[in-house]
Amino acid sequence: MKNSELSTQFALPRTGIGIDADFGDSAVEASAARMRAVEESAVVQSIGETPLVRLRRLEAHWRLPDSIELYLKLEWVNPGGSIKDRTALSIIRAGITDGSLTPGRTLIDATSGNTGIAYAMLGAALGIPVTLVVPESASDERKRTLTAYGAEVIFSDPYEGSDGAIRLVREIAAAGTDRFFYADQYNNPANILAHTRTTGPEIWRQTEGKLTHFVAALGTTGTLMGAGSFLKTRGHVTLVGVQPAEAFHGIEGLKHLPTAIVPGIFNPALPDRIVGIDTENAFAAARALARVEGFFAGSSTGANLAAAAGLVVELARQGEPARIVMIGCDAGSRYLTTGLWDAN
């Protein structure tokens, strides 16, 4: 094959394909056909059913009693590299079903990175144009990944974090209501539904319903709200939400709820406790996970692990048995240019 033929074959598409095609005569037929196209996507079929692993070496490293077990759900195994693949897919499904995500509309949202990457990935796979508002302070790895998938990226004030991105995207979406599908992950019930339908049931099945504690970091809060509410309906499970200890922190994707725009989907009555974790402790826990267990995870996973470490000290002191499940939010490779891996 000639070079010119190769160039043509691998040329990037200029217009949306896949679910943006014209299906059927009626709105109902079109929506059903678009949903079938979503479910037949190879990327969509790769999301979920992630492994749950026991951290036996870390248990030994921390000298935990045999009655306390630590488990990590490896969400970076998802094709977009994080738990946010579930969220983005659920929001897109809901948008198609209720008719708000129609052909030609651009999906727009604020993101600190991972949900944006999931939107961009699904947008590429499904032919949905994607525009994302991202804090300028997001890691270079996240920014480059968004560009690789072909998403349009608008940067917000780096010092305003995710709240600044939220304020800016609201302005943009309000000025272009006919052009945009505003996904609004912080207030969209489909965020919760993603974890009520998938993450929670998977954990319950993988632990045979024998977990005692569920630990999840608080960003949009969808994971804790969704998986946590499901687990609460199945048995007595203590829900632990994890947030940065201070307003100014280095744990990407997490919110310090007392000083941030609180997501509309957050129900403060659901968690049994909310733990504040220092950036340094989150980073140290992520490094320990890499060097003791060989799992290369990000700082939000480190925050979950640090919260669990404090919890097991308390449980061991009281002589209480426990089976603790933590969310492994994303991979450490997204933080190579941050301070996470600088220390020896």
Integer Cα distance of 218 and 13 in angstroms: 37
Q: Residue 334 contacts by C-beta under 8 Å, 6 or more apart in sequence? A: 81, 113, 114, 139, 141, 142, 145, 298
Catalytic residue among 31, 90, 162, 300: 300
What pLDDT sits at residue 2? Answer: 57
Q: What does R_g of the chain's alpha carbons equal in angstroms?
A: 20
Query: For 296-335, how does the pLDDT look when each residue is reduced to its tens digit (9 = 90+)?
Result: 999 999 999 999 999 999 999 999 999 999 999 999 988 8
Contact 72, 326 (CB under 8 A): yes
Contact 204, 226 (CB under 8 A): no
Whether the full predicted model's pTM is greater than 0.85, yes or no, is yes
Integer Cα distance of 186 and 217 in angstroms: 14
To 10 degrees, what angle do helices 114-126 and 84-98 make? 50
Domain(s) of CATH 3.40.50.1100: residues in the chain: 52-82+191-341, 84-182
In CATH, the number for domain 52-82+191-341 is 3.40.50.1100
- What count of other Cβ atoms lies within 10 Å of the Cβ of residue 242? 29
Integer Cα distance of 340 and 334 in angstroms: 10
Per-10-residue mean pLDDT of the chain, 344 residues long, equals 54 51 65 90 98 97 96 98 98 95 95 93 97 90 92 94 92 90 97 98 98 98 98 96 95 93 97 97 96 96 97 94 97 83 64
Question: Annotated catalytic, 210?
Answer: no
Integer Cα distance of 55 and 127 in angstroms: 40
Catalytic residue among 31, 73, 82, 84: 84
Fold of 84-182: Rossmann fold (3.40.50)
Contact 31, 97 (CB under 8 A): yes
Residues 199, 329, 336, CA angle at the centre, nearest 5°? 160
Handedness of CA 210, 315, 274, 281 (dihedral sign): negative
Question: Annotated catalytic, 232?
Answer: no
- Secondary structure in 3-state letters for the chain: CCHHHHHHHCCCCCCCCHHHCCCCCCHHHHHHHHHHHHHCCHHHHCCCCCCEEECHHHHHHCCCCCCEEEEEEEHHHCCCCECHHHHHHHHHHHHHHHCCCCCCCEEEEECCCHHHHHHHHHHHHHCCCEEEEEECCCCHHHHHHHHHCCCEEEEECHHHHHHHHHHHHHHHHHHCCCCEEECCCCCCHHHHHHHHHHHHHHHHHHCCCCCCEEEEECCCCHHHHHHHHHHHHHCCCEEEEEEECCCCCCCCCCCCHHHCCCCCCCCCCCCCEEEEECHHHHHHHHHHHHHHHCCCECHHHHHHHHHHHHHHHHHHHHCCCEEEEEEECEEHHHHCCCHHHCCC
